Structure 1
Amino acid sequence: MTTTAPPIDTHRVDLGQFDRVLGDPGEDGTLMSFARCAELDRREEFPADICRELDLMGLPRLYVPAAFGGALTRYDDLIGALRSVARRDLSVAIGHAKTFLGGICVWLAGSEEQARGLAADIIAGAPVSWGLTERGHGSDLLAGEMAATPEPDGGYRVQGEKWLINNATRSPLLCLLVRTRPEGGPRGFSLLLADKRDLPEGRWRTLPKVPTHGIRGADISGFALDDCPVPARALVGEEGAGLETVLKALQITRTICAALSLGAADQAVRLARDFAGQRELYGRKLIELPHVRRTLGESYAALYACETVTAFAARAVHTLPEEMSVISAVAKSYVPTRADELITACGELLGARAFLTEVHEHGAFQKLERDHRVVGIFDGSTFVNQHALINHFPVLARGHHEATGNEDAVGRAADLAAPLPEARLDRLSLLARGGSSLTQGLRVATGELRALAGRTEGLCRVAELAEELNNRCDRLHGELALSPPASQYVQPEAFALARRYEQCFAGAAALRAWLLNREPDDDGLWLEAVLTHVLRALRPAGRPTSGEVFDRLFDAIEGGSAPAFPNAAGAR
């Protein structure tokens, strides 16, 4: 099919227009209609034609920073575009966006010549694969066995294989993490940008596609290099700096992964709401039943919470790069987990139709549920990201006690109308030494809300929730200070603390977003719903929590009176 979308240029992307051009997936004949994507899923076929159309629309240009000739100037724009794709089909979004993940290390550490050469390939439509994982090692990158031995006359001989790699077969370009010191260690790994088109035949091979439960059409495979010569110009950054570069790159890619979960959540809520509006039960529409309204209302609240975390994280790349080790870990753990919960709740409303493959929008829900399960694993699993938070407990506690956060940077990240500075990826750090400015400023934000509330009943109620969140956040940081030092064998209690920290972070992000983006007549309804949603997870087990705010949120959204989150790009 031919699209009429204007190509993406170097000015800011019009996300609303991009979303409209992609069309309604419920209508046959659109680029990513439910019918078309369901058929590809049944055949376990890669969506090559759809990806080709996205190439023609210029989406690959958003994977390339403007400094190298692309259109990427703001990471929230990239997230918005990928969310639009993901809300139609996750397999397409995952398969296409992998190129950004494959190129990010070159944007961070590559030479000008490497970056411009790779940019030209990406803009021309060449996918790039990121070769990190190997059989038997999973997320343990220090255990990687693919070895690159230096040649006397320059270049390397590479031996080993990478496995469970997205686009490993399709991509002509491979960004490889390789062992360059036999003993390994933090300085024992380097990055090579290998071009299959330049490698000698017989020295490399692709591995078979791995059948998967979800994203069935994705090219999840691998490749092996057999004493394969790779030229010296393939080295990305300094020899021995590969692991550090990868860990910094993951701070960006983990943030971008939240777009996949937001798109999946959008689609789940839409499918459940549409079904509930059509289905009759006990002589009434399903949507008229109190339990259904409550479930959808809380799903909207969860979606608002995920949006605030994601928007803050994307903009923090520009304003708080030194803290992205914490922010990205929260985003990658919190957003996919909440989206999984939301999808499960929506599936319960659909009943049997949540499992059937050829009814209600061509079985879109069961495909969505299968596809999204893998998002929590990408770029470090939920436990890996929570472990990263646990490693930060001492600095989070110290920073909270000393209150040294950057209030100005928090404000620019949370104010969605504020201009963003150029992203300084060179300022990314493996440790957020000052802790988290967002949670450190929660008391200040709570005071601002209290001052706004005055005698307005609705806002007074919201201010009380914010005060409770602030008190619980203070107590949590006291517990973080007493937590034993992180080690290889982390106790389960530490993961529980990490989950509570994520909830505090989400509540703080929502409060800042509301304060800085509210309309004059905004009664704080969506913020009240998000804070209630967050506090449910922070309060002691067994304490009853009223859910009537979710009923009010549902009614407001159904009646068109609830303000959409400003970064939603047509989500509802």
Structure 2
Amino acid sequence: MTEFEFQEPDFLGEDLRMVRAQVRRFVEERIVPHGEAWEASGEIPREIFRDLGAMGFLGMRHPVEYGGGGMGAMASVVLGEELSRSTFGGVASALTVHSDMSVGHIAHRGTHEQKLKYLPAACAGEKVGAVCVTEPNAGSDVAGLKTRAVRTKEGWVLNGSKTFITNGVFGDIYIVAARTDPEAKGSRGISLFIVEKGNPGLKIARKFDKHGWRSSDTAELFLDDLFVPHDALLGEEGKGFYYIMSTFQNERLVVGALASGTSSKAIELTVDYLRQRQAFGKPLWEQPVVRNKVAWIAAKAAAVRALTYQCAQMIDEGKDTVREVSMLKAFGAETLQEVVHTCLQLHGGTGFIIGTPVERMARDSRILTIGGGATEVMLEEVAKRM
């Protein structure tokens, strides 16, 4: 452990300490050496999902009887922190969208038949999940989505479009939000459906070329008379908005974990660089103004981590965490911007060169203030509960 890596909290049990050690080893051996190639190709090999799934890390929150680990929110935090320490945000996003933001809908509200059909393969990393909520005119405003699902005698027919979908190209199990009651306003009348890869009505409009997260595939999808049977409905009809909001709390917790892990790694790399970089006859680390900058961002990063772990504990205790998780999403993502850009500044010209970890982390981190609920939306959620 370097001097600037945060100490392990005492309340983490031996099982989670083992998870951290094993995921960290996997990141160092299987992700870091190949991450640059995945950045160039814009995708992650399927065997990464399968191998991490075989180790039991892609279904830690899912029920044991369907191939999962039956663990709590703290497991998601440990996984998110360690994946983000790879410095490849695209890898961390693709894996956590699968493990914590998509097929989790099936784990929480699917029927026994749906769980049996999808969860074992998802936990094993054999099938990759994606969640399809965002639309061109409905992002943080989920209640504004326009995709329609019309009931027929045989099932449902969906029409509409989805955008900014992580794992949208290479996914296998799509959780799709659609409006099932055209008369309902706002958040009412939205339902969730399970759509499988290969459905002729699911069309990939384009794969985005992104500013960051370049190793994860992100797509725009069209739903063109997409037919699914009645048993593709996930949970109760008309309850989709509430399901999405519930899952958003976990997504925002994971964003906090990603911010914590990325901040820790960025500071660690920067301290190592400053101790080696000579300027004005001595290492930059010996300049008080430089050390003070690092100490300041380290203090803020520690606060993000503490709030992340507090939120995970509250979730595991069954408490209402909307206010605290909204605080975490806003504070964690915005603090990360300060951390990575300070680290880039302290790297000087080296920090501006594509391919260096700090430059990549600065690009990858930008999306966290937007995805999963923009900072402005999160602060409004906090304000409404004050």
Q: TM-score, normalised by structure 1?
A: 0.61
Q: Which one has the largest radius of gyration?
A: 1
In the other structure, the counterpart of 2:331 is 334
Q: Distance in 2 between matches of 1:302 and 1:172?
A: 39
Q: Distance in 1 between matches of 2:45 and 2:90?
A: 8
Q: Distance in 2 between matches of 1:345 and 1:12?
A: 35
Q: Check 1:136–1:392 CA distance in 2 against 1; reply closer, same or farther (3 A cut).
A: same
Greater fraction strand: 2
Q: Quote the offset at 1:154 in angstroms.
A: 4.4
Q: Distance in 2 between matches of 1:42 and 1:266?
A: 25
In the other structure, the counterpart of 2:310 is 312
In the other structure, the counterpart of 2:15 is 12
Q: Distance in 2 between matches of 1:377 and 1:167?
A: 18
Q: Check 1:345–1:166 CA distance in 2 against 1; reply closer, same or farther (3 A cut).
A: same
> Partner letter of residue 90 of structure 1?
G
In the other structure, the counterpart of 1:325 is 322
Residue 142 of structure 1 pairs with residue 143 of structure 2? yes
In the other structure, the counterpart of 2:202 is 204
Q: Distance in 2 between matches of 1:16 and 1:174?
A: 29
Instruction: State the aligned residue count.
Output: 368
Identical-residue share of aligned pairs (%): 24
Match of residue 352, structure 1, among 340, 349, 354: 349
In the other structure, the counterpart of 2:278 is 280
Any conservation in 1 of the 2:56–2:69 contact (CA below 8 Å)? Answer: no
- Which structure 2 residue ranges, 5 or more long, are not aligned? 1-13
Question: For 1:369-388, what aligned pairs fall within 5 Å after superposition?
Answer: 369-388=362-381
Any conservation in 1 of the 2:256–2:333 contact (CA below 8 Å)? Answer: yes
In the other structure, the counterpart of 1:96 is 95
Q: Check 1:104–1:61 CA distance in 2 against 1; reply closer, same or farther (3 A cut).
A: closer
Q: Check 1:372–1:113 CA distance in 2 against 1; reply closer, same or farther (3 A cut).
A: same
In the other structure, the counterpart of 1:491 is none
In the other structure, the counterpart of 1:221 is 219
Question: Which digits, 9 at most, give the CA deviation of each residue in 1:177-225, with x for residues without a partner?
Answer: 101011342221111112234x3x3x22112101101011211003222
Q: Distance in 2 between matches of 1:46 and 1:61?
A: 19
> Partner letter of residue 356 of structure 1?
I
Q: Secondary structure at 1:388's aligned position in 2?
A: helix
Question: Which digits, 9 at most, give the CA deviation of each residue in 1:345-389, with x for residues without a partner?
Answer: 22221111111125xxxx111111101111222211111111111
Any conservation in 2 of the 1:150–1:157 contact (CA below 8 Å)? Answer: yes
Residue 390 of structure 1 pairs with residue 378 of structure 2? no
Q: Check 1:389–1:58 CA distance in 2 against 1; reply closer, same or farther (3 A cut).
A: same
> Partner letter of residue 108 of structure 2?
L
Question: For 1:142-291, what aligned pairs fall within 5 Å after superposition?
Answer: 142-151=143-152, 153-185=153-185, 186-197=187-198, 199=199, 201=200, 203-291=201-289
> Partner letter of residue 32 of structure 1?
I
> Partner letter of residue 103 of structure 1?
V
In the other structure, the counterpart of 2:9 is none
Q: Quote the offset at 1:260 in angstroms.
A: 1.1
* Higher RCO (CA-CA < 8 Å; seq separation 6+): 2
Runs of 4 or more above 4 Å deviation: none
Residue 109 of structure 1 pairs with residue 109 of structure 2? yes
Any conservation in 2 of the 1:133–1:162 contact (CA below 8 Å)? Answer: yes
Q: Distance in 1 between matches of 2:151 and 2:256?
A: 38
Q: Distance in 2 between matches of 1:42 and 1:96?
A: 18
Question: For 1:423-434, what aligned pairs fall within 5 Å after superposition?
Answer: none
Q: Quote the offset at 1:242 in angstroms.
A: 0.6
Q: Quote the offset at 1:108 in angstroms.
A: 3.0
Q: Distance in 1 between matches of 2:346 and 2:118?
A: 46
The RMSD of aligned alpha carbons is 1.9
> Partner letter of residue 378 of structure 2?
N
Any conservation in 2 of the 1:204–1:225 contact (CA below 8 Å)? Answer: yes
Any conservation in 2 of the 1:18–1:81 contact (CA below 8 Å)? Answer: no
Any conservation in 2 of the 1:12–1:73 contact (CA below 8 Å)? Answer: no
Question: Which digits, 9 at most, give the CA deviation of each residue in 1:305-358, with x for residues without a partner?
Answer: 01110000011102242x211121111111111111111222221111111125
In the other structure, the counterpart of 2:68 is 70
In the other structure, the counterpart of 2:10 is none
Residue 22 of structure 1 pairs with residue 23 of structure 2? no
Q: Quote the offset at 1:16 in angstroms.
A: 4.1
> Partner letter of residue 376 of structure 1?
T
In the other structure, the counterpart of 1:532 is none
Q: Distance in 1 between matches of 2:106 and 2:305?
A: 29
